[in-house]
Amino acid sequence: MRARAALEHVVAALVEHPADVAIEEVEDDDGVVLELTVHPDDVGKVIGKRGRTAKALRTLVRAAGALDDEDVTVEIID
């Protein structure tokens, strides 16, 4: 799944602990939710100031999902 691969790749570049990045795909009625778990010290990094990084991740993942005609969102687990 391209959306997941895109998220995985970018998040790895944002965090201090790439080995601790985990993504789970959960299907719901509206599409796919990518549940993103990172090292506790990295949660702030993937959210960003005023949620800006999280928003950018969602925008990118939505675009990648659209390539496969899928509605994909990201949920950051903390």
Binding site for other proteins (CB under 8 A): 2, 5-6, 8-10, 13-16, 45, 48-49, 52-53, 55-57, 59-60, 63-64, 67
CB of 20 to other proteins, least distance (A): 15
Decide whether 29 or 31 has the Cβ nearer to other proteins.
31
Q: What is residue 30's three-state secondary structure?
A: coil
CB contact at 8 A, 75 and 7: no
CB of 7 to other proteins, least distance (A): 8
> From CA 66, how far away is CA 52, in angstroms rounded?
21
Decide whether 8 or 29 has the Cβ nearer to other proteins.
8
CB of 33 to other proteins, least distance (A): 18
Tokens matching residue 1: 């799944």
Q: CB count, 10 Å around CB of 34?
A: 24
